[in-house]
Amino acid sequence: MTSALRRATFLAGSALTCVAAPAFATAETADQAPERDYLPAEIVVTGSVDGYSNDDGSSGTKTPTPLIDVPQTVATITDDQLEDQAITQLSEALRYVPGVSTESGEGNRDAVFIRGQETTADFYLDGLRDDAQYYRSLYNVERVEVLKGPNALIFGRGGGGGAINRVSKTAKVGDSFIEGDASADTFGAFAIGADLNQPLSDSVALRIAGTYEEFNNDRDFYDGRFIGITPTITAQLGPDTRLTASYTYDDDSRLADRGIPSFNGAPLFGFEETLFGVADFNISDTEVNIARARIDHDFSDALSANVSVQFADYDKLYANVVPSGSDGASVTLSGYRNDTDRQNLIGQANFIWQVNTGSARHMVLFGFEAGDQNTDDSRLGISFATATGPESRVTIPLADVLAIPAVSLTAPIRARDTQLTTFSAYLQDQIDIGDHVQIIAGVRWDRFDLESRDQIGGGINARMDEKFSPRAGLVIKPNENLSLYASYAQSFLPQSGDQFTSLSTLDAGLEPEKFTNYEIGAKWLIRSDLFFTAALFQLDRTNTTAPDPLTPGNVVLTGSTRTKGIELNLVGKITPQWQANIGYTYLDGEIRNDTESAPAGTRLEQLPEHQISLWNRFQFTDSFAAGLGVVYQDEQFASVSNAVTLPDYWRVDAAVFYDINERVSLQVNIENLFDETYYPAAHGDNNIQPAEPFSARFGVRVRM
């Protein structure tokens, strides 16, 4: 255990044993409390948490704060909406979130653009970092939260465009239920799942969520399967103390599908089902083990604390033959195999103190976090058996099924062992001045130590960063149900990518990139179950590497980008029979100063100017309902080369729900109702992902 983590563990233990002082006043009973699980159990919630609506803003502040009082855009996808849309994977859920574009992730991982910023690492589970590159299932998730803009004070490094947080299902003391579901679609994919909650005593409960899923779609040779199980225990250790512990085992194996190449500035048309790879070689296998424990304790009505520890082990292998270009008659292929083994150990503690000073009411957050991450990452090249001998690249004629020469692995082309140690401390104050003015201000200090060892060449590179990340917000509340806000926040990202699997000699000496977000907005709780938000923002990314005009081959930190946008969202019950989640985003982003990737004036990649998402549920009778979804995404560039355009598209989804009785319900979900051909995501100019055509999924759900 590193010294930073030992220090964190010692401080956490000392706090729980030495601090004595009064439990939060609460506006709800335990039976009414929403499932937020990893933050203080008592939270003043002014709106509904049923259906599609949610008024819990605690993830944005680490304190019991209603969403209407958080000076930041937060989009939530609740468990009810996930069930209605028959969504099992995180990437599927995010397509209905305004301001988020899914990236194809090289066919082996979750990857997104949030406000024009790409990330494979800004993913969190109950507020703790879950940053390995893999596909995340939602079988054990209560809701998904997307927090827009830099979030360094709450989440630490990265998060330039935002952060995606999954809130886990946890055991419920005093409640007993069994839920099961099964579904299958017209491609032959199917999923079965179960969720069991059982009290073990008056103060202890066990919950087990599990799933088995098999994948299939219209793409040639595509298949795979996912196994997941998560047991959790909740123990009420006393009137003021609660322990939550869980273990997750996820095993994912699927074809690594890199999509199709481009031709003449657009996706190569006519090959939407063709695998530009080798079915027996293109694989993605991931095994994830996550163990975590958390203690919540109320010392008094004014002071509470929570302490969490998480250990995660990620073991991943992916291999692929990948297209790198086409002239319309042939395609060029290359490839590699990559192995990653990562262990994360994270300790976090938060103290929340409510105190009055004169007429001002304060909610003070003090916290610290320590982490230790070790990553072994290696890559092997491939060679194709051609008539002239082994080749690392091959060009072959286009065909519905490609005739690809035999593939073999070469010697390792890279092998690195990286050790990352972090320690953070943060302080935040939420100040209520009278009944109409709220101020939030805070700062986080991060120490970031990274060492990378080249296992082949033997060299070692290291860097250490110490950074302050401020946050400030002003909320004006003309009345209890309306807030107007302005906010400022910063974050940073060291110059070694968001996975920190390598560190060059050059990057080791460069200052981190910086993200600065300015935002104004309004939040209106129209009714207790209907919430409207609007935001106008500007996000600047600076300290980006650029060619040194005075020293060719060197770089300077003069590159910068800017993204500006508007986001609108209406979620909840528009009428007693009509429930909806409706969003619109306008985004404009470009490179302002030359970078290593592209010159000034270049539009940012995968940044559609307009995005529209509408999901509706119409309840016609007590037992019969229907759903209708519409997604529009404007055209976007596949990369910063701006040479390949992904066309704009409309997609329509539909659903029908029927409750046979209180325990059994049936549903049918139609995706891509009008069988549109479109390309929602890419990874560069020649890894473009075609969308699935029309498909239907039939499901049954049982509750006892």
Residue whose C-alpha is closest to residue 170's, from 105, 226, 248: 248
Give the pLDDT confidence score for residue 198 in this predicted structure. 98
Q: Is residue 32 over pLDDT 60?
A: no
For CA atoms 34, 37, 41, 45, give the dihedral sign. negative
Give the pLDDT confidence score for residue 220 in this predicted structure. 97
The model's pLDDT over 624-671, given as tens digits with 9 standing for 90+, comes to 999 999 999 999 999 999 999 999 999 999 999 999 999 999 999 999
Residue whose C-alpha is closest to residue 168's, from 213, 136, 200: 136
DSSP codes joined into one string, 9-40: HHHHHHHHHH--------SS-GGG-----SS-
pTM: 0.92
Number of domains in the chain: 1
d(CA 686, CA 331) in angstroms, rounded, equals 10
Give the pLDDT confidence score for residue 8 in this predicted structure. 39
CA distances from 429 to 37, 63, 275, 438, 697 (A): 22, 10, 54, 10, 48
Q: What are phi and psi of 12, to 5 degrees?
A: -60, -45
What is the helix (H) or strand (E) element at residue 153, kind and residue range? helix 152-155
The model's pLDDT over 689-700, given as tens digits with 9 standing for 90+, comes to 999 999 999 999
When mean pLDDT is compared across 15-29, 31-45, 459-473, 667-681, the lowest value belongs to 15-29
Give the pLDDT confidence score for residue 551 in this predicted structure. 85
Confidence class of residue 36 from pLDDT cuts 50, 70 and 90? very low
Q: Is residue 22 over pLDDT 70?
A: no
Confidence class of residue 440 from pLDDT cuts 50, 70 and 90? very high
Any idea which residue has 């298949």 for tokens? Answer: 223
Give the pLDDT confidence score for residue 33 in this predicted structure. 36
Q: What percentage of residues in the chain have a pLDDT greater than 90?
A: 88
d(CA 260, CA 324) in angstroms, rounded, equals 9
Give the pLDDT confidence score for residue 58 in this predicted structure. 94
Tell me the CATH number at 52.
2.40.170.20
The model's pLDDT over 253-310, given as tens digits with 9 standing for 90+, comes to 999 999 999 999 999 999 999 999 999 999 999 999 999 999 999 999 999 999 999 9
Give the pLDDT confidence score for residue 88 in this predicted structure. 95
Domain with 147 in it = 3-703
Question: What average pLDDT does the chain have?
Answer: 92
The model's pLDDT over 403-418, given as tens digits with 9 standing for 90+, comes to 999 999 999 999 999 9
Chain centroid offset of residue 388 CA: 46
Q: Is 441 helix (H, G, I), strand (E, B) or coil?
A: strand
Average pLDDT over residues 29-45: 37
The model's pLDDT over 332-363, given as tens digits with 9 standing for 90+, comes to 999 999 999 999 999 999 999 999 999 999 99
Average pLDDT over residues 475-494: 96
Give the pLDDT confidence score for residue 17 in this predicted structure. 35
Cβ contacts of 165 within 8 Å, gap of 6 or more: 59, 123, 124, 125, 126, 127, 144, 145, 146, 147
The total of other beta-carbon atoms located within 10 Å of residue 691's CB is: 18
Residue whose C-alpha is closest to residue 291's, from 323, 351, 246, 335: 246
Contact 193, 210 (CB under 8 A): yes
CA angle 51, 634, 655 (to 5 degrees): 35
Q: Is 81 helix (H, G, I), strand (E, B) or coil?
A: helix
Give the pLDDT confidence score for residue 151 in this predicted structure. 85
